[in-house]
Amino acid sequence: MLKQVAEGVLIHQSELLENNTVVVQGRDGVLLVDAGITGAEMTCLASDLRQLGRPVVAGFSTHPDWDHVLWHAELGEAPRYGTARCADFMQGVLSNPDWKAGVAEGLPPEIAEDTPLDLYGLITGLPAGTAQLPWDGPEVRIIEHPAHARGHAALLIEERRVLIAGDMLSDVFVPMLDDTVEPIEDYLVGLGRLEGVADAVDVVIPGHGSLARAEEVRARIELDRA
């Protein structure tokens, strides 16, 4: 079930991990961010979009964790974008002939049989430094940063005052650090970039958990920083 959270912005939340899939309405269709984690959820989403007469015209994965790079055939064949680093990481995963077995092994057992992997990780990397998502809809600013995962990016829909935060600013998960030389410093850099746009935001959609609105936005940033 899609829920509107701002003008032209809707979300669907998964049951197991509270993943937030984001739908942004454009001129001829929608942008789909972090499409979901189970076949049942994604086919339901595809059905909802068909009923609205809004095909998926672009996708975006905020980062290359397994639960953010899934897709279903019923969502169509729109380009699925990510940062160049995100796409490079996924190409490395998919170059392993045993990648599917490795991914399947790490899936939560509750959903393993209903997690579609045929279109897993097929990300089109945007040129390094790309500042705006190429699509026919409201301007979407790409805010890449080193926190949590390689190639992680938040999306700022300035016209709607919405920030899609990826796997940060959650109220259900503690901050999760990447396996880098200075993971805490990298996370703080990411927080700083999100904080830099906080005054332009009324709604934050985290990768997992509930939305943050108004004064809650900076409270989430400080909670992650703590």
0.75 exceeded by the pTM? yes
| pLDDT score at 179 | 84
Q: What is the mean pLDDT of residues 203-223?
A: 96
Q: Where are the alpha helices (DSSP H) in 56-177?
A: 84-94, 99-105
Q: Indicate the SS3 state at residue 200.
A: helix
Domain boundaries of the chain, sorted by first residue: 3-225
Q: Tell me the per-residue pLDDT of 84-136, one tens digit each, with 9 for 90 and over.
A: 999 999 999 999 999 999 999 999 999 999 999 999 999 999 999 999 999 99
The CATH T-level fold of domain 3-225 is Metallo-beta-lactamase; Chain A (3.60.15)
Determine the pLDDT at residue 180: 85
Average per-residue pLDDT for the chain: 97
Q: Could you tell me if 186 and 146 are in contact, meaning their C-beta atoms sit under 8 angstroms apart?
A: yes
Q: Of 14, 33, 1, 3, which Cα lies nearest the Cα of 115? A: 14
pLDDT tens, 38-73? 999 999 999 999 999 999 999 999 999 999 999 999
